[in-house]
Structure 1
Amino acid sequence: MSTPKNVNEIDFNSTKAQLHRRLRYGKDRITRGVVAVGGIGVIVAILLIFFYLLYEVLPIFRSASIDVGASYALPSVEAGDTRYLSVEEQNELGMRITDQGLAVFFNVSSGQTVQQMALPLPEGVTVQRVASAGAGSPVLAAALSNGQILLFEHQYKLIYPKSGGRVIEPHLEYPYGEQTFSLVSDSAQLSSSKETIQQLAVADDAQSVMLAAVTASGHLQLLRLNKDEDFLTGDLKLTPESLHVPLSEPQIQGVAINYDQRWAYVAAASNKIDVFDLRGDQPTLHQRISAARPGVTITRLQMLLGNLSLLVGASDGSVSQWFIVNEQDENGESHKMLKRIRSFDHDASAVMDIQPEHRRKGFAVLNAEGELGLFHSTANRRVLLQAVTDKPAGIVMSPRSDRVLVVTSDQRVIPIAVHNEHPEVSWSALWSKVWYESYDQPDYIWQSSASNDDFEPKFSLTPLAFGTLKAAFYAMLMATPLAICGAIYTAYFMAPGMRRKVKPVIEMMEALPTVILGFMAGLFLAPFVELNLPGIFALLIFIPVAILVFAFTWANMPKNIRLAVPEGWDAALLIPVVLLAGWAAIALSHPLEHWFFGGDMRRWLTHNMGIDFDQRNALVVGLAMGFAVIPTIFSITEDAIFSVPRHLSHGSLALGATPWQTMIRVVLPTASPGIFSAVMIGMGRAVGETMIVLMATGNTPIMDANIFEGMRTLAANIAVEVPESEVGSTHFRVLFLAAFVLFMFTFVVNTAAELVRQHLRKKFGSL
């Protein structure tokens, strides 16, 4: 006889129960798979970002290289000795000016002569020297054997015939006419070989053309050709003004003129450089300096792109960069002086030739051993040194700096392809102080572009990193104490009913778009803070004092009044107190400004304290970005504190501890891993913030801890400049390097935070 089944007994093996278990097991597996795929996807996405940033950044640290082509004979040797050699922008045509006054255009790759043009020279006159008006300038000056100067330009026109292809058509132009100008006052002196022009320099600007020549007898002849434009025809008329400067030494190794035609530099056969001031009716010797070690001879002078910096090559192989700076004497007076800015790594062989790049602050050097060196002045680095010939004579660099022609002593030309995309980048240029042209001392500067072609890019990431940390510091300074203290009270002391209203409201603040916060900070908060600056600082005093006074008053009120407010709801009484104290601080802002700051706190800060004030500053960023960071820190901290098991608090209270002692000794240590994580996540949010700092800081890349000055952060700089940068350029890749630095900073901080969090969890997990 079978046992009757209990009607209340549950059958776990029924078909429905088995189906339910199978469905739950399937859901669990799907959930685990989705979570695993999601986690792996996040890791893969982060790795892809890392490797993509690395892919964009690595090319700027790639070393330069060259490809040496097959040499060929110097074209049209029968036309005379070479006085000047150049390459046009497309690297297809070269130009050679001979002493017989012929311009020979030839194919750069093969050396085949394409065309010849004769300069308009008088019969029997030869070309002694040819000088360029600067890197990238088409203006040339030819010094003739009769003491005259001929100015002309070499131009190239691209023609696209209907049959296809491209043709480069060279031609010579004479912007000031085919007339010549007398450089040496007594032209008859040049009839003898002793008085030939040994050195020549030319500078061209909108007002005048300045010519400088050194004769064999040691005289420096200066000719200023003042430009006068005809009002009716628009033609330029040059009015010559001759200047004569006797030199102390007859053997001159080089002469150069700076961009504004104020200074002339003359290198003597010794190691001295004479600096002449060209202002006034007659030039005066302004400074004499030693540009090389005793016993070393200066072998080459060359102006860098922009004609601001002077490059000096010497017989010991050294190359140095000089430019004019303001220096103060013992009396505190400022004087303009030529100063050595930097020296470059070099070989012991004498410098034979220096050629500047046409679009960057780089230059090429050829030494007596036939080694080609590529340098960059701002980065203060030698990017290449390689032997190319054993019979060096000179070099020519193309306008794009991707082709070099090396001329040998046996009248041959060696074409060299140059791969040197990003010479501007070095560790010192990115992170150290750099002495830039026209600056009186080294500094950290970010200025990636300008309106002129002679601009020296300034890619220092230091002010951007400093601005990032500065913005994050002031934001965290405001947000951290408010968010943590608010979370402590909300999670531990506040009534549950009130907590259910307060917590969602604060978390809703995080949903506000940061672009709106930045917009409000820039257009409303910044002017408000400027107009009520004393009141903003009075808030830091009025609100805490008002809260303490109210707390003391409330504690001493009759018990029946205090008990009328439900437990945990008494914090609501502080709302009108805080609002009233805030209103009082702002209302008293202008009276406080008159009483303590003479009616203008900004002016008082500037003149009495020496503190500059900018309307969009770190104070505004701290208030706006702190408002954006508070919800993140508050929410995570509040959850961490609220999640502490209640039996720990009850046990502490049962042992006689006060609620505050329980909070400090039990709850906070247990919740410390979560609180620390909240602070680190908030800091990551502050470091990566873009729109608020972009719109509320003035976006100025300066290094100043002053809370009243602005800054520029890495994230804001990337957002502003990436759309305007040329893809693949140094500027473009340096911006990706900034993103990589930001990525690595966040990674390091988060890794360190996780290690600290795990340590705190292990330490306080036994409570």
Structure 2
Amino acid sequence: MSRPSTPELNFDTPALKRYRLRRAVKDKLASWSIGLGGVSIIGAVLLIFFYLLYEVAPMFVPADVKKLNEYSLPGSQAQETVMLAMEEQAEVALRVQKGGDLTFFRVEDGRLIKSEHVPLSGNVTSFDLNTPASRKMAFANDQGQVLLAKHNYRLKYDENTNRTIIPRIDYPYGQEPLTVFDDGRAIKYISIRDSDSAILISALDESGAPKVVRYTKEEDFLSGDIVLERESVNLPMMSGTINQIEVDQAMNWMFVLADNRLLHVINLRSETLEQTVNLSDHGEITQLSMLLGENSLLVGTNKGDVSQWFMVRGEDNQKRLQRIRTFDTEAQTVVAMSTEQRRKGFFVAGNDGRIAIFHSTAHRNLLDEDLVDGEVNTLTISPRAKDLLVETKDGRIVHFKVDNPHPEISWKSMWDEVWYEGYEEPEYTWQSSSSSSDFEPKYSLVPLAFGTLKGAFYAMLLAAPLAIAGAVYTAYFMAPAMRRKVKPIIELMEALPTVILGFLAGLALAPFIENNLLGIFAMLVIMPMAMLAFGFMWVNLPAKIRHSLPDGWDALPLIPVIILSVWFAIEVSPTFEMWFFGGSMTQWLNNDLGVDFSQRNALIVGLAMGFAVIPTIFSIAEDAIFSVPKSLSYGSLALGATPWQTMVKVVLPTASPGIFSALMIGLGRAVGETMIVLMATGNTPITDINIFEGMRTLAANIAVEIPESAVGSTHYRILFLTGFVLFLFTFIFNTIAETVRHRLRSKYGQL
């Protein structure tokens, strides 16, 4: 009997063809979708990267100056110009001439608007400007008198809303001049400093003898008018022929230049000569000017450089004038300087027509070019630092448009120590705003980067050991029934909003730890000792009792031990504080050890952020350990290894790529955390490793300050820079993690 033939299978039936076609289409769609998703993720990351660069890049662009117009000097050509100034809109300019003539003209084309003469009897012999921002001027005559004036501007709109700027000269203290020399001696040189409380006038007569008078301001109770009370200031003896005098904003210090090389520092409160600085090594002094805020002195020389000086308190607790930084130009000799009215920038003109732009705090050279033909007489920058007028010796005015939006930023100001005015030494400081108009923004990123790493370090110090140890026990030693309950509970912790954790940490945990600081440290000792003691007792119990607890449930009896040890540590801490620390450990830290204690500090962040990071590390690490093939464990145990040896020698090396990934993902979470740090640290941008001090992180700084920053401003862009730095931190950590993970996988993947 013949065997039946095997039936032939037809794989080319219409149904199978349609099935294969549908499967091929699905495979292609899945492949394209996965590829598109991957490319989209890479594109999104690159888009974020390049957008951050787009916002950050303008801060590092040098200044750009473009010539707009050039015209003849308005007003009389016979009298020398002693000052040029512009109003807020840079549409109207003022030319002050040596004889007391005041000429207003249009900045655009030099067309004359109006001229007038200072109503001061006799011949005007000297002139000085209080500060560019105040617009107050002082005119001195040959009769020992001084008249204070101020140039003001009024906006007028017609029916078509066309704006007209009307300039005028006001006299804030009336047209009655103030007396400097009672005997009517002519004033050869005048220096004025006008504050809310007093007017300080420094003058030289024709023989070079100095005279300083102070007019104290008092408001009349009935009329509200300001009444000036005059008093003389006694000056100490000084060597040399006096060339120029400058006074700081608070009228505490007077700087007297003599013989174009000696700088005398006089304490106006004690009326004593505190210091004499010999500037011979720097060359002949050609220009002396005060920077914005009138706390720093700019010294220009015939060698073409400019140095910044201000008063610094030394080790002997005495203030001394100290050179802080030097700015080099390509000019042969510095002949004119103009300081900005709202930033710590200044413009320097050389005798050869070269103009340089600097920023003092950033120590940045923004421009140094030949802008005009011929020798420069004077120059001025508009209040908004967008228009520049340069007067040449041959009677021309050249108008430039200046594009210099972000001079405050440099690599040094962000990542190096900067010596700020009023500071005793260079420091890393972040302080972006202040109520003072002469404030210099401090944009050091070091405190923010340090705070970010500090917070992440203390969080990982708590989270990493607990999470990894918990993952090891849960995945390898714990009973499956108990694991099914413990693992979801821990992973559920990750769903807690960080704002809630920060709120609880700031309002509940911080004061609790401050009141029980010794108990927290005692807990770190008592809890492990209690666990070891319980373990020793447990293994020495009768076998019947020990075996009554199923394998893998060993952790259950430890829960009351941990709770009781924590309670005991907290309860006994007040007694020990009274015995050893005078009743308060925090006061002992402050008073005896000199360790500053802030209620919201890195310890609070370590506990709160560590609590938030533990579920992330635990979940990934536990899955990695649990996924190790059981055949490896059984083989190790069969060869005679103990469970602990199997864990250390086989399971952990095999799971090490996943464990390391868990740690790096947890670190990335800690680095980018915002709300916990914002609410639990005190938000203080300081560089202090002290665990009892607060900090400010890059992410928290963005959250705090981005709402108050003006779009497009330097503050706004540097916040984007902090985001870019945070982006780089994450990128570097992830790159390191991926590299190490691949090496661990290559090394232990063959087990």
The normalised TM-score by structure 1 is 0.94
The match for 1:352 is 335
CA offset digits 1:262-310 (Å, max 9, x no partner): 1111111241101111115xx322211123417x211111010011111
- Among 486, 494, 501, the residue aligned to 2:470: 486
Q: Distance in 1 between matches of 2:200 and 2:594?
A: 45
The match for 2:428 is 444
Q: Distance in 2 between matches of 1:589 and 1:735?
A: 44
Instruction: Give SS of 1:675's match.
Output: helix
Q: Residue type matched to 1:303 in 2?
A: M
Q: Distance in 2 between matches of 1:403 and 1:175?
A: 28
Is the 8 Å Cα contact of residues 69 and 398 (structure 2) preserved in structure 1?
A: yes
Question: How has the CA–CA distance of structure 1 residues 269 and 445 changed in structure 2, closer, same or farther, with 3 Å as cutoff?
Answer: same
The CA deviation at 1:763 is 0.7
Is the 8 Å Cα contact of residues 148 and 181 (structure 1) preserved in structure 2?
A: yes
1:76 aligns with 2:75: yes
CA offset digits 1:602-647 (Å, max 9, x no partner): 1111222221100000000000000000000000000110111111
The CA deviation at 1:564 is 1.2
* Higher deviation after alignment, 466-475 or 132-141: 132-141
The match for 2:297 is 310
The CA deviation at 1:559 is 1.3
- Among 248, 252, 259, the residue aligned to 1:258: 248
Is the 8 Å Cα contact of residues 271 and 290 (structure 1) preserved in structure 2?
A: yes
The CA deviation at 1:252 is 2.9
Q: Distance in 1 between matches of 2:86 and 2:237?
A: 35
Q: Distance in 2 between matches of 1:749 and 1:78?
A: 68
Q: Residue type matched to 1:760 in 2?
A: L
The match for 1:338 is 321
- How many residues align? The count is 750
Question: How has the CA–CA distance of structure 1 residues 570 and 245 changed in structure 2, closer, same or farther, with 3 Å as cutoff?
Answer: closer
Q: Distance in 2 between matches of 1:175 and 1:247?
A: 34
1:639 aligns with 2:630: no
Percent identical across equivalent pairs? 53
- Among 170, 180, 183, the residue aligned to 1:183: 180
The match for 1:159 is 156
Q: CA RMSD in A?
A: 2.0
- Among 353, 365, 378, the residue aligned to 1:382: 365
Q: Distance in 2 between matches of 1:350 and 1:184?
A: 35
Question: How has the CA–CA distance of structure 1 residues 27 and 596 changed in structure 2, closer, same or farther, with 3 Å as cutoff?
Answer: farther
Q: Residue type matched to 2:574 in 1?
A: H
The CA deviation at 1:592 is 2.1
The match for 1:476 is 460
The match for 1:396 is 380
Is the 8 Å Cα contact of residues 104 and 115 (structure 2) preserved in structure 1?
A: yes
Q: Distance in 2 between matches of 1:18 and 1:628?
A: 54
CA offset digits 1:179-213 (Å, max 9, x no partner): 101122331x32xxxxx513x22111111011112
Question: How has the CA–CA distance of structure 1 residues 436 and 611 changed in structure 2, closer, same or farther, with 3 Å as cutoff?
Answer: same
Q: Residue type matched to 1:617 in 2?
A: N
Q: Distance in 2 between matches of 1:160 and 1:427?
A: 46
Q: Distance in 2 between matches of 1:90 and 1:76?
A: 22
Q: Residue type matched to 1:327 in 2?
A: G
The CA deviation at 1:121 is 2.1
The match for 1:193 is none
CA offset digits 1:82-124 (Å, max 9, x no partner): 23221111111110122343321001121110112332222xx
1:660 aligns with 2:644: yes
The match for 2:546 is 562
The CA deviation at 1:16 is 7.1
Q: Distance in 1 between matches of 2:314 and 2:462?
A: 43
Q: Distance in 2 between matches of 1:695 and 1:5?
A: 82
- Among 701, 714, 717, the residue aligned to 2:685: 701
The match for 1:732 is 716
- Among 212, 222, 225, the residue aligned to 1:222: 212
Instruction: Give SS of 2:689's match.
Output: coil
Q: How does 1:418-433 map to 2 (within 5 A)?
A: 418-433=402-417
Q: Distance in 2 between matches of 1:469 and 1:397?
A: 43
Question: How has the CA–CA distance of structure 1 residues 488 and 397 changed in structure 2, closer, same or farther, with 3 Å as cutoff?
Answer: same
Instruction: Give SS of 1:328's match.
Output: coil
- Among 548, 566, 570, the residue aligned to 1:586: 570
Question: How has the CA–CA distance of structure 1 residues 13 and 565 changed in structure 2, closer, same or farther, with 3 Å as cutoff?
Answer: farther
Instruction: Give SS of 1:557's match.
Output: coil
Q: Distance in 1 between matches of 2:725 and 2:454?
A: 16
The CA deviation at 1:11 is 9.6
Q: Distance in 2 between matches of 1:13 and 1:598?
A: 93
CA offset digits 1:351-410 (Å, max 9, x no partner): 111111000001111112221111111011211111123221111111111111111111
- Among 480, 489, 492, the residue aligned to 1:496: 480
CA offset digits 1:733-767 (Å, max 9, x no partner): 11111110110111011111101110110011111
Q: Distance in 2 between matches of 1:706 and 1:21?
A: 67
The match for 1:371 is 354
The match for 2:264 is 274
The match for 1:321 is 308
Consecutive unaligned residues in structure 2, runs of 5 or more: none
Is the 8 Å Cα contact of residues 677 and 753 (structure 1) preserved in structure 2?
A: yes
The CA deviation at 1:718 is 0.6
The CA deviation at 1:345 is 2.0
Q: Distance in 2 between matches of 1:244 and 1:397?
A: 36
Instruction: Give SS of 2:214's match.
Output: strand
Is the 8 Å Cα contact of residues 220 and 244 (structure 1) preserved in structure 2?
A: no
1:682 aligns with 2:666: yes
Q: Residue type matched to 1:48 in 2?
A: L
Q: Distance in 2 between matches of 1:564 and 1:185?
A: 109
Instruction: Give SS of 1:732's match.
Output: helix
The match for 1:98 is 97
Question: How has the CA–CA distance of structure 1 residues 570 and 126 changed in structure 2, closer, same or farther, with 3 Å as cutoff?
Answer: same
Q: How does 1:505-654 map to 2 (within 5 A)?
A: 505-654=489-638
1:197 aligns with 2:184: no
CA offset digits 1:417-440 (Å, max 9, x no partner): 111111111111001110000111
Q: Distance in 2 between matches of 1:432 and 1:214?
A: 43
Is the 8 Å Cα contact of residues 303 and 333 (structure 2) preserved in structure 1?
A: yes
CA offset digits 1:560-584 (Å, max 9, x no partner): 1111111111211111111111111
Is the 8 Å Cα contact of residues 331 and 351 (structure 2) preserved in structure 1?
A: no
The match for 1:146 is 143
Q: Residue type matched to 2:307 in 1?
A: S
Q: Residue type matched to 1:731 in 2?
A: H
The CA deviation at 1:18 is 6.6
Q: Residue type matched to 2:245 in 1?
A: V
The match for 2:34 is 35
Q: Residue type matched to 1:163 in 2?
A: N
Q: Distance in 1 between matches of 2:618 and 2:263?
A: 67
Is the 8 Å Cα contact of residues 289 and 298 (structure 2) preserved in structure 1?
A: yes
Question: How has the CA–CA distance of structure 1 residues 246 and 410 changed in structure 2, closer, same or farther, with 3 Å as cutoff?
Answer: farther
- Among 694, 704, 710, the residue aligned to 2:694: 710
Question: How has the CA–CA distance of structure 1 residues 219 and 78 changed in structure 2, closer, same or farther, with 3 Å as cutoff?
Answer: same
Is the 8 Å Cα contact of residues 674 and 757 (structure 1) preserved in structure 2?
A: yes
Consecutive unaligned residues in structure 1, runs of 5 or more: 191-195
Question: How has the CA–CA distance of structure 1 residues 206 and 402 changed in structure 2, closer, same or farther, with 3 Å as cutoff?
Answer: same
Q: Distance in 1 between matches of 2:13 and 2:548?
A: 58
Instruction: Give SS of 2:562's match.
Output: helix
The match for 1:131 is 128
The CA deviation at 1:243 is 3.2
1:60 aligns with 2:64: no
Instruction: Give SS of 1:551's match.
Output: helix
